[in-house]
Structure 1
Amino acid sequence: MSKRSIATLIAALVVGSLVTGVPDPQAEAAESRADGSPPPAGASSGLGVDLDTVTIPQLQRRMAHGSLTSSALTNAYLGRIKAVDPKINAVLRTDPTALRQAAASDARHRRGDTLGPLDGIPVLLKDNINTRDMPTTVGSLALAGSPPATDAPLVTTLRNAGAVILGKTNLSEWANFRSTKPTSGWSAVGGQTNNPFVLDRNPCGSSAGSGAALAASLSQVAIGTETDGSIVCPAGMNGVVGHKPSLGLVSPSGVAPISAEQDTAGPMARNVIDTALTLAVLSKNKTTRPGDHSSLTNDATRPGNLRGKRIGLWRLPSLGTDVDAVMSRTAEKLRTAGAEVVEVTPPYQERVSELEFPALLSEFHRDINAYLGTRKGPQNLAELIEFNRTHPAEQTCFAGQELFEQALVALPTTDPKYQAMRAELKDLSRRSIDETMTKHRLDAIAAPTNPPAWTTNCARGDNDVIPSSTPAAVAGYPSLSVPAGTVNELPIGLLLMAGDHQDAKLLSLGAAVEHRLDAWRAPRYLPTIGPDTTR
Structure 2
Amino acid sequence: MRPSAIWLLPVLLVLSACGSGADDRAASPRAPDDFLYAELDIAMLQQRMADGTLDSHTLTRAYLDRIAAIDRAGPSLHAVIETNPDALREAAARDAERRAGKLRGPLHGIPVLIKDNIGATPMVNSAGSLALRDFRPAHDAFLVRRLREAGAVILGKTNLSEWANFRSTRSISGWSARGGQTRNPYALDHSPCGSSSGSAVAVAANLAVVAVGTETDGSILCPAAVNGIVGLKPTVGLVSRNGILPISFSQDTAGPMARNVTDAALLLSAVAGRDESDPATATLPGHAVYDYAARLSPDALRGARIGVLHNNLSEAEDIGGVYRHALDALRDAGATLVDVALPTDGQWDDAETTVLLHEFKAGLERYLRQQHAPVHTLAELIAFNGQHAGKEMARFDQDLFERSQATTGLADPVYIQARAKARQLAGPLGLDATLDAEHLDALVAPTTGAAWRIDPARGDDFRGAGYGAAAVAGYPSLTVPMGS
- Which band: TM-score by shorter chain? 0.7 to 0.9
Identify if the C-alpha distance between structure 1 residues 444 and 476 changes in structure 2 by more than 3 Å, giving closer, same or farther.
same
- Alpha-carbon separation, structure 1, partners of 2:167 and 2:33: 39
Q: Per-residue deviation at 1:318?
A: 4.7
Give 1:306 deviation, angstroms: 2.9
Instruction: Find the aligned partners of 1:39 and 1:462 in 2 and give their Cα distance.
Output: 23
- Structure 1 match to 2:260: 271
| Secondary structure of 2:445 counterpart | strand
Per-residue deviation, 1:350: 2.8
Partners of 1:226 and 1:264 within 8 A in 2: yes
Cα 1:129/1:386, change in 2 over 3 Å: same
Counterpart selection for 2:332 from 318, 331, 336: 336
User: Out of 383, 396, 421, which is 1:424 matched to?
Assistant: 421
Q: Which has the higher helix share?
A: 1
Match of 2:301 in 1: 306
User: Measured at CA, do residues 267 and 397 of structure 1 come closer, stay the same or move farther in structure 2, by a change above 3 Å?
Assistant: farther
Q: CA deviation at 1:354?
A: 2.4
Contact 1:308 1:339 in 2 (8 A): yes
1-structure distance, mates of 2:291, 2:373? 40
Amino acid in the other structure paired with 1:371? Y
Tell me what 2:43 maps to: 57
Whether 1:369 and 2:360 are equivalent positions in the alignment is no
Q: Tell me if 1:146 matches 2:135.
A: yes
Q: Distance in 2 between matches of 1:136 and 1:423?
A: 32
Kept after mapping to 2: 8 A contact 1:140/1:394? no
Query: How many residues are paired up?
Result: 439
RMSD over aligned Cα atoms: 2.2
1:403 is aligned to 2:370: no
1:292-313 CA distance string (max 9 Å, x none): xxxx8x7x533x6533222112
Are 1:41 and 2:31 counterparts?
yes
Please identify runs of 4+ aligned residues in structure 1 that moved more than 4 A.
Answer: 42-45, 287-290
Matches within 5 A, 1:97-112: 97-112=86-101
Amino acid at match of 1:399: F
What is the CA-CA distance between 1:338 and the residue it aligns to? 2.4
Secondary structure of the residue aligned to 2:212 is strand
The corresponding residue for 1:71 is 57
Greater mean alpha carbon deviation, residues 175-184 or residues 277-286: 277-286
| Equivalent residue, structure 1, for 2:178 | 189
Whether the 8 Å contact between 2:82 and 2:158 is mirrored in structure 1 is yes
Matched, 1:83 2:69: yes
Asked if 1:115 is matched to 2:104, the reply is yes
SS at structure 2 position matched to 1:92: strand
Trace 1:234-383 onto structure 2 (pairs within 5 A). 234-284=223-273, 285-287=288-290, 300-302=296-298, 305-318=300-313, 320-373=316-369, 374-383=371-380
Q: 1:397 to 1:222 in 2, by over 3 A?
A: farther
Deviations 1:89-145 (A, max 9, x none): 101111111111111111111122111111100000000001220111100000011
Q: Deviations over 1:326-355 (max 9, x none)?
A: 211211222233222222211212321121
Structure 2 vs 1, CA of residues 287 and 56 (structure 1 numbering), >3 Å: closer, same or farther? farther
Match of 2:468 in 1: 470
Aligned to 1:457: 455
5+ residue gaps, structure 1: 2-37, 291-295, 486-518, 520-535
Aligned partner of 2:414: which letter?
A: K
Any conservation in 2 of the 1:186–1:397 contact (CA below 8 Å)?
no
Taking the aligned partners of 2:341 and 2:361, their CA distance within structure 1 comes to 33
- Taking the aligned partners of 2:391 and 2:377, their CA distance within structure 1 comes to 17
**Following superposition of structure 1 onto structure 2, how do residues 428-443 of structure 1 map, counting pairs within 5 Å?**
428-431=425-428, 432-443=430-441
Task: Please report the TM-score for the alignment, with normalisation by the length of structure 2.
Answer: 0.86
Q: Which amino acid aligns with 2:482?
A: A
Residue segments in structure 2 that go unaligned for 5+ positions in a row? 2-27, 274-287
